[in-house]
Amino acid sequence: MTESRLRAPANLVSPRARWFWAVRAVPGWLVVLAAEAIVWAALPSKLATSIIFILSLILATAHLVVMPQWRYRVHRWETTETAVYTQSGWFKQERRIAPVSRIQTVDMERGPFEQLFGLANVTVTTASAAGPLKIHGLAEEMAAAMVDELTVRTQAAGGDGT
Amino acid sequence: MSAALSEPAITTPDAEWRRLSPRMLLVHPVIEVGKALPALAGLFLASGGSSQGLIWGLIAAGIVTTFSLLRWVTTRFRITPEQIQLRRGLLHRTTVAAPLDRVRSVDVTAHLLHRILGLAKVVIGTGTSDRKRRDQFALDGLSAEAAGLLRSELLHRGQQLAAPVLDSTMAPAAGDQEIIRLEPAWVRYAPFTLSGVLTGLALFGFGWRIGNDAHIDASRVAPLRSIGDQLRHTPIAIDVAVISVVVLVFIAVASTVGYVLAFWKFRLTRHPEGTLHVTRGLVTTRATSIERRRLHGAEISESILLRWVGAARCIAIATGLKSGGGAERNSGLLVPPAPREVAIRVAGEVLESSAPFAVALSPHGEAARRRRLIRAASGALVLVGLAALVCWAARLPIYVWLASLTLLVVAVPLARDRYRNLGHALADGYVVASSGSLVRRRSAIDRDGIIGWNFTSTYFQRRFGLTTLTATTAAGKQKYRIYDVAVADAVDFAEQAKPGLLAQFALHA
């Protein structure tokens, strides 16, 4: 038996996605830091709360710097004539492969933040409730082209996909 | 069959709108009042017989009943040459339609009231939407004959129309081949199913609710108090033993009753066209039909107690069948707890290949074994640590914590067994996966039923060079996992099972 492995999908998502992920994570951290600031102001002893606040600040900065880079490296995708292939995850990494002939829907969606950065998410579903293939942070034009392309190929394949 | 002929609207497969049986008008009020009964009884007891609560309860039951009557008036369905359509709703009219060739299964059930009035409920499974919009095509209350005819209409469309008349609701048609029939001796496996645990909990909850609604203080009910006094006067060890025995006997009896109720007259037959029919039930009868082209595999499942007495279940893996929901309710059940050989023989016959359940599986190797041991041991250690914390915080005696040490003793054999049961194979076009210890399952899915693959690996799995390979499918549980297999084996296996899909993404070293 040969030692076969899967290579990673060929394409990275849009480089702008890194900024998008960082910006999207900011509000959550602001809420945490604001709550800590209120506690800091309310309690008489400042030492413990100050330390916690500073630690949170460091953690937030580290998260905002590391997370987008990490995601950008991990979130990869590829479509071929016959298949869609995605990779995602952090601690638990996942690679999903679905044949084009079994695709049921291809959705493109853009939230308000995504529109700001000119990004879009593409979700490819099959007849199985387990594991739609999601690609986050694609450039809009790329996502639209991909949806068109997959739609055409899926129609060519025919059948009810189950 | 004369009853069927007297309802001409059902026998002609044209596009006329049909109604549910008017006899349902009798069923709804009884059921709604029955549901409200515990609350009503509680209110009645609490107020000493004359209560506004009772009146309000009756009004509420009346309103619900009215709504259910309206449901009958507004619900209609029809079968056009391409579609089945269901129309319902008074203010918010909805019409749901599904193409006939997407009908995957037809489930006919009849509870006691239904049976007294000669009625049945038909649930039509239409595949992908099943999970989100449950009971989308539930027609509650057709006459039994109409239900049987509807089933034949939906499942054997290709045939001449004369044929369905042979196929009455619950009884399989004359030409059907019997695959298996329940043998009364199998009831001996019932106590090992533990289904009685749920019954016990339900009864306890029911009693509790009535007690609460009526504000009954347990210490003032004479029999309960005398039991309590008795227990207080005997040593704790004896109390524990007595209570355990009582609970075990209750569970055994309740499980047996449940088994008989659910599986009485269990019969699995095959229509000449390949459709499987399952009929069963003592009080509530149930008939499920699964088309051959919707059947993508089968699963043999053995809980540890069933395994101990050499018994197993067999479950169909088919599109449009909800899986799970307990063994008694699972409509894909092909063999109730029965001798293991019987379950395996039926699985082989249904899949037309005995290989998937006979083949020797490839083991997952040393790394998988180590991972199982580490997981079990670390899990047990965490629990023992938690027990220590709880005991310390709540100042419980030390022997409570010592008892938790048995977890460590159990963990190792459990991990070994879990490893032994891991395995996968490709047999006669079926992907076979086995795993589990407390419930061991071997699933076989035909390769055409598999849609795609997911490879997941946690940080720890990556360090061991392992991955969990998931076959995604539209049938049964939607995903079937092969746990902790070496990455290279997983890729080769997936490529062998569905040639051409993975090769384009593979590196060969």
Q: E strand or H helix at B140, and its extent? A: strand B137-143
For residues B507 and B8, the model is more confident at B507
pLDDT digits 0-9 by tens, B301-359 = 999 999 999 999 999 998 876 655 444 557 789 999 999 999 999 999 999 999 999 99
B508–A83 C-beta distance less than 8 A: no
| Residues in chain A with pLDDT values less than 50 | 1-2
Name the closest residue on chain A to residue B468, using Cα atoms.
A94
- With CA atoms as reference, report the closest residue to B75 among B29, B123, B17: B17
Mutation test of the interface with chain A: which of B104, B126, B128, choosing the one with the most A Cβ atoms within 10 A? Answer: B128
Quote the crossing angle between the two packed helices B406-421 and B365-394, to the nearest 10°.
Answer: 160
Confidence class for position B445, pLDDT limits 50, 70, 90: very high
B492–A95 C-beta distance less than 8 A: no
Q: Is B426 on the interface with A (CB under 8 A)?
A: no
Residues of B in contact with A129 (CB under 8 A): 128, 131, 478
Kindly list the residues of chain A whose beta carbon comes within 8 Å of any beta carbon in chain B. 1-7, 9, 78, 80, 82-83, 85, 89, 91-99, 102, 104, 126-131, 160-162
Helix (H, G, I), strand (E, B) or coil at A95: strand
Q: Is B319 on the interface with A (CB under 8 A)?
A: yes
Shortest CB distance from A128 goes to which of B451, B487, B501?
A: B451
- The DSSP symbol for A1 reads -
How many CA atoms lie less than 13 Å away from B120 in the CB half-sphere? 23
C-alpha span between B277 and B143 (Å, rounded) = 19
Model pLDDT, residue B171: 54
C-alpha span between B41 and B309 (Å, rounded) = 43
User: Is the pLDDT assigned to residue B170 strictly greater than 60?
Assistant: no
Shortest CB distance from B501 goes to which of A89, A95, A99?
A: A99
Percentage of the residues of chain B whose pLDDT score is greater than 90 = 37
Residues of B in contact with A132 (CB under 8 A): none
A7–B507 C-beta distance less than 8 A: yes
Shortest CB distance from A130 goes to which of B101, B470, B495?
A: B470
Model pLDDT, residue B14: 55
Model pLDDT, residue B164: 38
C-alpha span between B318 and B278 (Å, rounded) = 14
A78–B451 C-beta distance less than 8 A: no
How many C-beta atoms lie closer than 10 Å to residue B175's C-beta?
Answer: 13
Closest Cα of chain B to A93: distance in Å? 5
C-alpha span between A34 and B99 (Å, rounded) = 55
Distances (CA, A) of B70 to A40, B18, B25, B95, B237: 60, 16, 10, 16, 59
Model pLDDT, residue B157: 64
What ipTM goes with this model?
A: 0.88
Model pLDDT, residue B163: 37
A162–B127 C-beta distance less than 8 A: yes
B452–A9 C-beta distance less than 8 A: no
Q: Is B260 on the interface with A (CB under 8 A)?
A: no
C-alpha span between A96 and B455 (Å, rounded) = 6
Q: What is the 3-state secondary structure (H, E, C) of B166-218?
A: HCCCCCCCCCCEEEEECCHHHHHHHHHHCHHHHHHHHHHHHHHHHHHHCCCCH
Q: Is B292 on the interface with A (CB under 8 A)?
A: no
Among B9-23, B378-392, B417-431, the least confident range: B9-23
Closest Cα of chain A to B461: distance in Å? 9
Among B26-35, B189-198, B200-209, the least confident range: B26-35
Beta bridge partners of B338: B312
Model pLDDT, residue B65: 77
C-alpha span between B213 and B219 (Å, rounded) = 16
Contacts for B139 with CB less than 8 Å, ≥ 6 apart: B20, B75, B77, B86, B121, B122, B123, B124, B147, B150
Shortest CB distance from B455 goes to which of A95, A98, A99?
A: A95
Distances (CA, A) of B23 to B17, B27, B119, B432: 18, 7, 8, 47
CB B140 within 8 A of CB B319: no
A–B CB contacts, 8 A cutoff, strictly below: 121
CB B357 within 8 A of CB B313: no
- With CA atoms as reference, report the closest residue to B187 among B131, B252, B106: B252
What are the φ and ψ backbone dihedral angles of A4, each rounded to 5 degrees?
A: -95, 145
CB B72 within 8 A of CB B87: no
Model pLDDT, residue B443: 96
Confidence class for position B411, pLDDT limits 50, 70, 90: very high
Mean pLDDT for chain B? 82
Shortest CB distance from B458 goes to which of A2, A92, A162?
A: A92
Shortest CB distance from B456 goes to which of A92, A99, A126?
A: A92
CB B195 within 8 A of CB B257: no
CA dihedral (B179, B183, B187, B188) in degrees, to 10, reads -110
CB A97 within 8 A of CB A130: no
Q: Is B269 on the interface with A (CB under 8 A)?
A: no
Model pLDDT, residue A138: 92
Closest Cα of chain B to A91: distance in Å? 5
Model pLDDT, residue B218: 65
Among A47-56, A145-154, B1-10, B118-127, the least confident range: B1-10
B509–A5 C-beta distance less than 8 A: yes
A80–B504 C-beta distance less than 8 A: yes
